[in-house]
Structure formats: C-alpha cells, structure tokens
Amino acid sequence: MLAMKTLADSPNLSISELARRIYLHPATVVGIVDRLEGHGLVERTPSKKDRRQVNLKLTRAGKGALRKTPVSAQDPMLAGLEALPDKKLKRLAVNLSKIVKVLETHAKGPAPKRRRGRPRKEESLPKKRRAGKPA
C-alpha cells in the first residue's frame, strides 16, 4: 500500500524514484509493481525523457482501492520523516543502524557452551537401524 500511496501523492515516478521514496531496492519495487500492474492497480507508461525508463501511475481501480483502505499507523510517522531535512534523516539512519546492531547482538544471546573431552558413550554409538530402512 505504501507504493500505491506514494504514487497517488506523486504520479509519474520512475521505479528508481519510487524505490528511493519508499526505502526499498529497485529490484524489490519491480516485483511489487509487477503484482500491482497484474491486478490492474498501476500502469506503466514510457518516459518522455528517457526511453529506457517507465513512469508509474495509479489506474482508476488503483485509486479506488486506495480510498477503501484504512489509514495506516505508519502514515503519521512517514509524514514526520518526510518533513525532516536530509541531514537529520542521515543522522537518524546512522543511529537506527547502531540500535539494530545492538539488538541483533542481544537477540543472538551468548554463544552455546562447547563440550570438552570425549563424546558420551551414546553419542559415539551408531544409530540403530529400523527394520526395512537403511542407515
């Protein structure tokens, strides 16, 4: 829905510009646009500036579908982020990356303890074969 909302607010974006605005890789956005186009919600039109590019816009059905969707909890946050100057957005991105690294480290927890010495007797024995099944 974020891609559709972005296109409603700014029609005729290229895929790379849409990707930049919704913070996704262009290859990911191509897949999203393919699915939206397959459902008749978005259409591609050749760019007048560059024949290699296409511009994206919502179809009438896409605009109707967007009107029927409830307001996202992310909308106010996105509006706030869009209002920030680039310098502050970059600083925020750096700090969020640091937080993610800390959370990933804590989520992994301590490394598992390794046993020392010989394996236990049951660990060193071959597994029993079931009747009729090879090991």
Half-sphere exposure of 97 (CA within 13 A, CB side): 6
Note the pLDDT of residue 13.
Answer: 95
Nearest Cα neighbor of 1 from 54, 74, 56, 59 is: 74
Task: Using the structure block, give the residue that is written with the tokens 């800390």.
Answer: 102
pLDDT tens for 26-70 read 999 999 999 999 999 999 999 888 888 999 999 999 999 999 988
pLDDT tens for 3-14 read 999 999 999 999
Nearest Cα neighbor of 16 from 49, 55, 44 is: 55
Beta-ladder partners of 42: 58
Q: What distance in Å separates the CA atoms of residue 35 and residue 5, rounded to the nearest whole number? A: 15
Q: What distance in Å separates the CA atoms of residue 7 and residue 55, rounded to the nearest whole number? A: 10
